[in-house]
A and B are shown apart, each in its own frame.
Chain A
């Protein structure tokens, strides 16, 4: 490891994380670790039916059970507004239906909340919930989005005919039709991107507390975006003034998107705490998390890719049906539209792209952002399309990628599909895709794959190599691009930071970002510490409490470095400016002549005429002698709205061995060459990549949320949902190229979702490559032993090579 010559310049250094001591000693403080005086416990009774009218609810027995404090049903909360949907698909008509805090009349999925029981202990509340008698009238159920579109399908909402929430498109319909119509080669394939359960290791929860003396609420929540939650709970759901509520995310045990959103329990605990005058805590069980917290993905897609036999792709047409679940979660409509269709050019110069998406309601859990959120689905389409096309024309898939890459001199590159309803064009910021591909192939020994395959064959194994040359849209997003007039996001997406340099020279940074494992407390301190020349240990980063941090939109979309981090950078620039002006006054120098470096403001050309940041902070804090018009104290806030997103990229290579007899897939090596621009802390970035890769591998091989036709969640516990486990993954082999982003002064791009975006396609491409002798050209995920075994046997029996459906692993 190389250390910078200047120990204060920690940018780019693999520092151990500042937040870790509490986590490794068991002294972290997660939501369920919080106990308030007089606190009660909430348990929610959920519908066992996927679609049913509630005829009546009898709570009389439950109310008399030991320890029970109150029981509420939808009739009691009828006055409370439904939860808002904050992102309608841009530029088209949306039919918005959102959940109530307790459903008053019709349950629309097996997690729909029917009653709330509050008791002195959680066990007592569970006992009482079991004693509630609900009379349900079962209604017809539809769980598959394509089925839900058919005439005669059960209808979920009156305002959404044919269960269609929105129909959205992007790209050039006529040009793409023309390209496909006149192409030498056209490959068509149906691709299913199965439904997943995000699975943060901490389930969701919330605690509500109402102070009758001040009329103020405090809500603790497992949220990735506490400021946004406060806005939504107060102004949209409960109709109380925004400033009368404080929202706090304590330590949060992962989120992966599922903790961005507003859930019914958050306003419910606030509402109950006022009713009872006592705090109330809600914590999901894991099975409840599977039932009632949002899921991800769930697309059915038909693709057509057109081109010539020399490997040049001329058109891509994509038609997707996206399952939204029973209602719209907070930002759900934007995921399969903006965050999906606008990435369909991938790393390639496709001259014609057209994408149509239909968002559909079904009797299933709500689907919203899950790590990558639309972008893994898009990348999966593009990277499978490349391999299908390569297979059709008999060309090496690496060569097809190379022939279609956007060349390095074409940046900033306009892929056309990034241009939304406002006509505002975003362009890929920077890129050089071939070196990452070349390096990944070299690490994998791709050139000599025939030898490796022969060696594996001698052991009865089918070795496959799978590539994925992904790009990602990170650092979301310029507010005027993504906002209401454009992509339909109902707010902005800038981020905030405040820096206070205290009298002793110690620094407190507050950010509107929210840390739930990404390492903000370290990386933000590195940015601020490096810019101010203050040791990282003297910089404290505070976050996730609406009281004491500036408003911010939170952490998701790989935005905390490239947007939140730049807000911190800009705030540091303001501190440096003020420090220079004050130092000039102290030194009786011309402010124009001042420089700032290594924690010292000095006169250009005479470095001995200098004041340290500690001396300047002291002078600013006491305020005895300030230049005319200067306010005391070093306290600066910055709000940063990015001018563009950032576009990291890379090539991943998966190497799998498939057992010819059993269909078992063994991921033997996984290679990733990622270009995320510059890195604030490589230790943290690599960790993000590792975790992302594992989630994509999990989707490719094992995971899947499965409903039966009656809407029962078959993968309803951790026993039935196959998560990646240590014994089934290799260590990952990572390398990098570095193409700084010109979008921001740190040159960073973001890395939180990159691993997940690249990996599923790499693994599936590898398995399909391994099965090439069978003439199999596609298998839908997850590629469990059974699914792969079946595909081989069907192919041997002379069946068609395509369209083998995956079955999630836990469901034997």
Chain B
């Protein structure tokens, strides 16, 4: 149990915006994001760091934000699902998840996308086993992973195409119902 009332100041850049927050030393990064900054796109799916629903990027690397203390990100840059794209300016992964039905209830989706973004930053052309291995720390109970894997592969292809300047960074076109 922490000493009641004792707080520590944390200075962190979140989705490009500098923030300073006073936190209890025991506070987790995921709680800082959700409770103090209102960034509820980062989810909590477990209490043993098994599910990956809380995945965010700290200084460009995917981490499970339930396994990081808020005080540990002092001086760091954190990116959450809210920071990688938005409606109208979707990240290729967001677009690919939508196009390929890579989500059902959507609860695992932000963590999945953040995890996959980390993979694609390291390996722009992963094969299917590589994708499956990369996301094995993220649990999805709805999709059986089939369409998540398709989504990540499609996003990788779209990002490679965009990099090569051959086309827009969008996944295969499908009729939109939105």
Contact B144 A254 (CB under 8 A): no
B 72-109 contacts with A by CB, 8 A: 80-82, 85-87, 90, 94, 97-99, 101, 103-109
Cα-based distance from A728 to B144 in the complex (angstroms) = 11
Chain B residues in 8 Å Cβ range of A32 = 34, 40, 44
Q: How far is the CB of A609 from chain B (nearest CB, A)?
A: 32
Q: Does A694 contact B (CB under 8 A)?
A: yes
Chain A residues in 8 Å Cβ range of B1 = 127
Contact A200 B98 (CB under 8 A): no
Contact B87 A21 (CB under 8 A): yes
Contact B105 A718 (CB under 8 A): no
Contact A201 B103 (CB under 8 A): no
Cα-based distance from A488 to B110 in the complex (angstroms) = 42
A 224-249 contacts with B by CB, 8 A: none
Chain A residues in 8 Å Cβ range of B24 = 123
Cα-based distance from A518 to B103 in the complex (angstroms) = 10
Contact A731 B128 (CB under 8 A): yes
Contact A536 B177 (CB under 8 A): yes
Chain B residues in 8 Å Cβ range of A485 = none
Q: Does A285 contact B (CB under 8 A)?
A: yes
Q: How far is the CB of B93 from chain A (nearest CB, A)?
A: 8
Contact A525 B141 (CB under 8 A): no
Chain B residues in 8 Å Cβ range of A30 = 40, 43, 107
Q: Does B53 contact A (CB under 8 A)?
A: yes
B-binding segment of A148-156, A625-633, A683-691, A778-786: A683-691
Q: How far is the CB of A188 from chain B (nearest CB, A)?
A: 34
Q: Choose from B97, B105, B147 the contact partner of A517 (Cβ within 8 Å).
A: B105
State the majority secondary structure of interface residues on B: loop
Q: Does A27 contact B (CB under 8 A)?
A: yes
Contact A253 B43 (CB under 8 A): yes
Closest to B110 in A: A26
Contact B106 A253 (CB under 8 A): yes
Q: How far is the CB of B84 from chain A (nearest CB, A)?
A: 9
Q: How far is the CB of B101 from chain A (nearest CB, A)?
A: 5
Cα-based distance from A55 to B158 in the complex (angstroms) = 65
Contact A254 B141 (CB under 8 A): yes
Contact A719 B48 (CB under 8 A): yes
Closest to A29 in B: B40
Contact A25 B87 (CB under 8 A): yes
Chain B residues in 8 Å Cβ range of A525 = 177
Closest to B51 in A: A718
Contact A687 B104 (CB under 8 A): yes
Q: Does B146 contact A (CB under 8 A)?
A: yes
Q: Choose from A1, A10, A201, A729 the contact partner of B105 (Cβ within 8 Å).
A: A201
Q: Does A432 contact B (CB under 8 A)?
A: no
Decide yes or no: A254 and B107 within 8 Å by CB, A16-B174, A684-B101, A718-B51 being known contacts: yes
Contact B98 A21 (CB under 8 A): yes
Chain B residues in 8 Å Cβ range of A725 = 136, 139, 145
Cα-based distance from A251 to B47 in the complex (angstroms) = 21
Contact B175 A3 (CB under 8 A): yes
Q: Choose from B45, B82, B90 the contact partner of A286 (Cβ within 8 Å).
A: B45
Q: Does B143 contact A (CB under 8 A)?
A: yes
Report A718-742 CB contacts with B as 1/0, cut-off 8 Å.
1100011111110110000000000
Contact A683 B101 (CB under 8 A): yes
Q: How far is the CB of B120 from chain A (nearest CB, A)?
A: 15
Q: How far is the CB of A208 from chain B (nearest CB, A)?
A: 20
Decide yes or no: A25 and B143 within 8 Å by CB, A15-B175, A691-B104, A726-B135 being known contacts: no
Q: How far is the CB of B31 from chain A (nearest CB, A)?
A: 9
Contact B47 A729 (CB under 8 A): no
Decide yes or no: A25 and B177 within 8 Å by CB, A123-B26, A723-B141 being known contacts: no
Report A650-693 CB contacts with B as 1/0, cut-off 8 Å.
00000000000000000000000000000000011011101111
Chain B residues in 8 Å Cβ range of A15 = 174-177
Contact A517 B177 (CB under 8 A): no
Contact A10 B177 (CB under 8 A): yes
Number of interface residues of B (CB under 8 A): 65
Number of residue pairs spanning A and B whose beta carbons lie under 8 angstroms apart: 211
Q: Does B148 contact A (CB under 8 A)?
A: yes
Contact A202 B41 (CB under 8 A): no
Cα-based distance from A252 to B51 in the complex (angstroms) = 17
Q: Does B42 contact A (CB under 8 A)?
A: yes
Contact B143 A691 (CB under 8 A): yes
Q: Does A17 contact B (CB under 8 A)?
A: yes
Closest to B108 in A: A201
Chain A residues in 8 Å Cβ range of B87 = 21, 25
Decide yes or no: A13 and B175 within 8 Å by CB, A253-B43, A717-B47 being known contacts: yes
Q: Does B142 contact A (CB under 8 A)?
A: yes
Chain B residues in 8 Å Cβ range of A729 = 132, 144-146
Chain B residues in 8 Å Cβ range of A13 = 175
Contact A285 B47 (CB under 8 A): yes
Decide yes or no: A694 and B42 within 8 Å by CB, A20-B97, A723-B139 being known contacts: no
B 121-161 contacts with A by CB, 8 A: 128-129, 131-133, 135-136, 138-150
Contact A516 B105 (CB under 8 A): yes
Name the residue in B34, B46, B82, B142 with the highest tally of chain A Cβ atoms < 10 Å from its Cβ: B142
Q: Does A623 contact B (CB under 8 A)?
A: no
Q: Does B7 contact A (CB under 8 A)?
A: no
Contact B143 A690 (CB under 8 A): yes
Report A688-704 CB contacts with B as 1/0, cut-off 8 Å.
10111111000000000
Q: How far is the CB of B48 from chain A (nearest CB, A)?
A: 5
Contact B142 A21 (CB under 8 A): no
Contact B139 A517 (CB under 8 A): no
Closest to A689 in B: B144
Q: How far is the CB of A537 from chain B (nearest CB, A)?
A: 6
Closest to B176 in A: A16
Contact B110 A254 (CB under 8 A): no
Cα-based distance from A53 to B126 in the complex (angstroms) = 57
Q: How far is the CB of B8 from chain A (nearest CB, A)?
A: 15
Q: Choose from B4, B47, B98, B131 the contact partner of A24 (Cβ within 8 Å).
A: B98
Q: Does B113 contact A (CB under 8 A)?
A: yes
Q: Does A479 contact B (CB under 8 A)?
A: no
Closest to A10 in B: B177
Cα-based distance from A28 to B42 in the complex (angstroms) = 10
Cα-based distance from A10 to B177 in the complex (angstroms) = 9
Chain A residues in 8 Å Cβ range of B139 = 199, 201, 718, 723, 725
Q: Does B39 contact A (CB under 8 A)?
A: yes
Q: Does B178 contact A (CB under 8 A)?
A: yes
Task: Identify 17 new A-B residue pairs, CB closer than 8 A, beyond the known A23-B103, A537-B176, A726-B135.
Answer: A17-B98, A18-B178, A25-B82, A25-B94, A28-B41, A199-B141, A202-B105, A202-B107, A253-B45, A254-B107, A522-B177, A525-B177, A690-B144, A695-B141, A725-B145, A726-B131, A732-B146
Identify 27 residue pairs between A and B in the complex whose beta-carbon atoms are under 8 Å apart, listed by A's number. Answer: A14-B174, A18-B177, A20-B178, A24-B94, A24-B98, A25-B85, A26-B80, A27-B41, A30-B107, A200-B107, A201-B43, A201-B53, A202-B105, A252-B105, A254-B104, A525-B177, A537-B176, A687-B101, A692-B144, A695-B144, A718-B50, A723-B141, A725-B136, A726-B133, A728-B136, A731-B149, A755-B144
Rank and list the top 10 A-B pairs by shortest CB-CB distance, nearest first. Answer: A26-B41, A23-B106, A253-B107, A694-B144, A517-B105, A26-B81, A517-B104, A33-B40, A15-B177, A690-B144
Chain B residues at the A interface, C-beta cutoff of 8 Å: 1, 4-5, 24, 26, 34, 39-48, 50-51, 53, 80-82, 85-87, 90, 94, 97-99, 101, 103-110, 113, 128-129, 131-133, 135-136, 138-150, 174-178
